[in-house]
């Protein structure tokens, strides 16, 4: 799937769009996506200048964005909802992610209700798990959000 399609499914834009490509998607089940970690990532200027390491929170965000794409393909009328990350459970960071790594982002839908979903996620570099977490996201109706603003 092309970057233009990813921008249709996610509200994020540079420098916060952290999914480069979707390799496989099974609506209502799972997704496999990629994030190419380059030397030019904006966060590397401060984390850390002498030993560049991708912040764990951004790895989790990349996993959440992959999960957001999965949700887009798993709910009715995806244009009518806005998905927000609401809980991170059991997050584990097993290995540093550095420039040149390619993150494989895997998310599996565990539960999908009208107002929330639960996903099991893993980020891998090669065959090694570098991070994993159970993510909970709120599924909000856009028209209700518009009424509150």
Over 70: is that where the pLDDT of 149 sits? no
pLDDT (tens digit per residue) in 49-107: 899 999 999 999 999 999 999 999 999 999 999 999 999 999 999 999 999 999 999 99
Range of the domain at 40: 3-148
Query: How many independent structural domains does the chain possess?
Result: 1
Q: Tokens standing for 39?
A: 């030397």
> How far apart (Å, rounded) are the C-alpha atoms in residues 27 and 50?
42
38, 66, 89, 141: CA torsion to nearest 10: 130
73 flagged as catalytic: no
**Residue 130: Cβ-neighbour burial (10 angstroms; 0-12, 13-18, 19+):** buried
Active-site position among 12, 47, 73, 134 = 47
DSSP for residue 24: E
Question: Quick one: pLDDT band at residue 1, thresholds 50, 70, 90?
Answer: confident
Give the CATH number for residue 80. 3.10.129.10
Rounded mean pLDDT of 30-34?
A: 98
Question: What does the buried/exposed string (b/e) look like for 53-88 if buried means 16 or more CB atoms within 10 Å of the residue's CB?
Answer: ebbbebbbbbbbbbbbbbbbebbeebeebebebeeb
Closest to 138 measured CA to CA, from 86, 90, 73: 86
Residue 41 · residue 99 · CB < 8 Å: yes
pLDDT (tens digit per residue) in 101-143: 999 999 999 999 999 999 999 999 999 999 999 999 999 998 8
> How far apart (Å, rounded) are the C-alpha atoms in residues 66 and 3?
13
């Amino acid at each position: 799937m092309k970057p233009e399609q990813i921008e249709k499914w996610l509200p994020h834009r540079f420098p916060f769009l952290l999914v480069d490509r979707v390799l496989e998607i099974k609506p209502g089940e799972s997704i496999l996506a990629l994030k190419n970690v380059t030397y030019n990532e904006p966060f590397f200027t401060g984390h850390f200048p002498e030993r560049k390491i991708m912040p764990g929170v951004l790895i989790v965000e990349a996993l959440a964005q992959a999960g957001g794409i999965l949700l887009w393909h798993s709910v009715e009328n995806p244009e009518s909802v806005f998905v927000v990350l609401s809980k991170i459970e059991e997050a584990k960071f097993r290995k540093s992610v550095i420039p040149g790594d390619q993150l494989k982002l895997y998310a599996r839908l565990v539960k999908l209700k009208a107002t929330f979903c639960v996903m099991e996620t893993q980020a891998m570099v090669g065959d090694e798990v570098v991070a994993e977490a159970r993510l909970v996201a709120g599924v909000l109706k856009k028209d209700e959000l518009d009424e509150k603003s």
